[in-house]
Structures are given as structure tokens and as C-alpha cells.
Amino acid sequence: MDLTHQFKVMPRFPPTAECSEPLGMEDGTIPDDHITASSFVDLSCCTPQKGRLNSGGAWVPWRNEGSWIEVDLANSCVVSGVITKSRRNSAYPGYVTKYKVAFRNQSTSDSTYVTDANGNAKVFMGNTDGHTPVTNMLDQSVVATVVRIEPTEWQRWVRLQFELLGCRRD
């Protein structure tokens, strides 16, 4: 996947109620077939669809290295943040401690990472335990139809639930 092309990036202002709302992972607005991943270990507990925030399960990839989970938002949305969490007390303990976020626009198949002030792919600080949600707001909101979370570091095992924050452009 080519991650060198840039998207239209919107300047980010202090979070506002108008554009920092959940985009539909937790409440099921995003359909199950719009959530995909690099892999998963078990159909009963750990599919990409279990990656919904507070789902009662968690997405767990077959391999930690190179793993990713992706959401097709169907329509162009402004994405301004991510909430991550894990799930405690399970057969696959662990949580994501650091991750990157990539976006794809509907009009192109090219993707790009959210970047830091130096133009490098930004690494977000994730969770420090298996049950406390962590919210990361993007420095700049991005217009995208597809959002990918790529764990880069984890405690014991990649286990992830998440929600995207932003607003729909309907």
C-alpha cells in the first residue's frame, strides 16, 4: 500500500461538539461488513467486528506484527479522534500501547498516515491497561472514507476495541 500521497487536511481547532461525535463503531451504525482486519485468531471471540468499543469482546489478530484493523465509513467524514480500549479477563490478555492511523479517500486507493509536526507518521499513545479508554484527538482533522489503525507496540498481545470521532459530511 502506497502511503506517500497526501489527503486534503483540514486545520484542527479546539474540539467542538459539532465534530467530535462517535462515528458509529460502538452503536453499530457502521455495519459489520465495513470492518476488516489483517487477521484474527478465533471466530467466537476475536473478529474485527469485536473491535467495536465496549463490544464485550476485542479484535485479536493472528500475528501481532504488521496487524491492522480498518473501517470503511461508506461516505466521506471528517475524522478528528480515536478512542481505544481493550478487554480484561480473557483468553488473550493484552492491549495496544502505541499505534498509527492511516486514511484513504473514496476517490483514490492511496493512503497516508496522520503525521506529526515534522511530517513523520505520528505514533499515538494507546492504553496502559486492559480496561481504561484512552482518547487521542488528531492535531489536524482529516477527511476520509476509510480509516486504518495499525498497532506498533503492545503489552503481551494486540487486543483492541475502538471508536472513531468526528462528523459526517452529509
Instruction: Give the model confidence (pLDDT) of 9-55 as tens digits.
Output: 444 444 455 699 999 999 999 999 999 999 999 888 899 999 999 99
Q: What is the CATH number of the domain that holds 77?
A: 2.60.120.260
Enumerate helices (H) and strands (E) in the chain, giving the number of each: 0, 9
Domains contained in the chain, number: 1
Q: Which of 60-64, 73-77, 92-96, 108-112 has the lowest mean pLDDT?
A: 108-112
Averaged pLDDT, 79-85: 97
Averaged pLDDT, 103-129: 90
Specify if 128 maps to a domain. yes
Three-class DSSP labels, 104-136: ECCCCCCEEECECCCCCECCEECCCCCCCCEEE
pTM: 0.88
Specify if 62 maps to a domain. yes
Q: In this predicted structure, what is the pLDDT of residue 56?
A: 87
Do 132 and 90 contact (CB within 8 A), yes or no? no
Averaged pLDDT, 70-75: 95
Could you tell me the residue range of the domain that residue 61 belongs to?
A: 9-168
Specify if 100 maps to a domain. yes
